[in-house]
Structure 1
């Protein structure tokens, strides 16, 4: 290969040229991976894909223009927006608290604060739920943070169930919604805590590690606490936020699809009324800080049925199921949700029959 004016080998015109005698093996002489393509080939492909996306949106808008103003769609959009706006602040609060637990609280603290005996750790975690002023959207990331810090899964799951149901904000809201029924506040506290502790004890006894996808921390060794906090919060808010949207979409859709007259028709059948309001609580997915006012408006139903609505909702609803699936996996959800639903309904029936 002849030398160029500067004495260096000229840039080969192909990879085959680089194999001829005299090539000095310098990698800088290899052509770039996109060498030889037309200059704007990749850029043109992106433009065409974007143009196709715009065309699909335009066609969809033209087809749905008359349907977007329908009353059902407006109701769906209103419900979805309300669920999202209610839940998002508490989700952010829970994610921030979870990130703070991960970054700033050493594992040794949890080893001292939470009893090692699962039988004792579960009620302690349930009682600790009374101090977190947040809804179910906040409890999921916090429970994940507790597991990452070495807390037994049964205790963390008990906290997940109890926190949105017995915290001070929820109890005060219940007292305001039922001003002439202070026994409803006591019944909600007792039934919710009983169900949470019972589920925690049962999980501690029969739960298996492979059923629960443990939340992992992927931080680099030696990273600063603030870096760990920022990384944890960014990861959790993006991960949990997506599942919150999915749960909100499902809840809004079912709110519109389920006819109201179906609900009213069963109000006079005691056991059926409890089951219907339990199902309604799951479908509506109302934030626990606001569900007492909805329960109070269901005056056609018995107090025990209203209690079931208040106990089931914060522990089993669509957006909570979606958040649990995103954090702990669907294998966990398939086992944990039916177990929780069973104990919340039974606890509501027993406590409602005694206190109401």
Structure 2
């Protein structure tokens, strides 16, 4: 029987051969681990909708950051629950808030760890929206100075990268200008350039107590049906001074990652969001899937689509798995 002389199976015949010809690689250096800091001390309380993730007081956040460093994870992203909320979200830039205190404490003990600061107002406002309200409308331009003030406060506390997640028009330029004016020219901006109005954020809103008190966020977050608009958002944010662009969520928007990778040469991050994490955890706890293989395969798909950086709640587990000799023998 005649057959094509090229047999692709030859290069799949064993684990060492597969490793030699593997086209994409997942590394611990790709990862950012998100943490949630809260008021108080000696607090480490598991978040019910995010098994394995915790609300952490500042002292426990330092311990978690120390663990991340020991596993080789290069960066953490700090989210917070404030001690108070108001209409404008003023606790977002309060130097005594848990986020700023955690950044200061972590940077003091672990100066080589990259700290990413999430800049948004939803966790800090009494209404749960991502900006200043005018009636039931989020006032875009009135929100920009508040975001810039928050960014500067985080940079002063030790943030190496500012990550605005609000989706206000013009916020990258406003933040870049404010950082530069205050002497933080070397603080980078990782823009949530493409943040869809997704149903996958539910567990995060539980963890951060950030659900809107009325309406939804579709007037500022992107329509999941749109991809050309995503490219426009990326272009605008790069023009305004973003150093890294982010696409969120990750798993159901890998087509957007691929389109972005084909168009730009800047670093691309993806956020493997709370709903994606929670679904995997629930299925694993029920014995329906092999959690390790599912997670590694999912994150590898993000790299294959073109992502350079992956923000994921799986980071601690992934770092441990990647240290195992047979971690990628799917």
Question: TM-score normalised to the size of structure 1?
Answer: 0.25
- Greater fraction of residues in helix: 1
Larger radius of gyration: 1
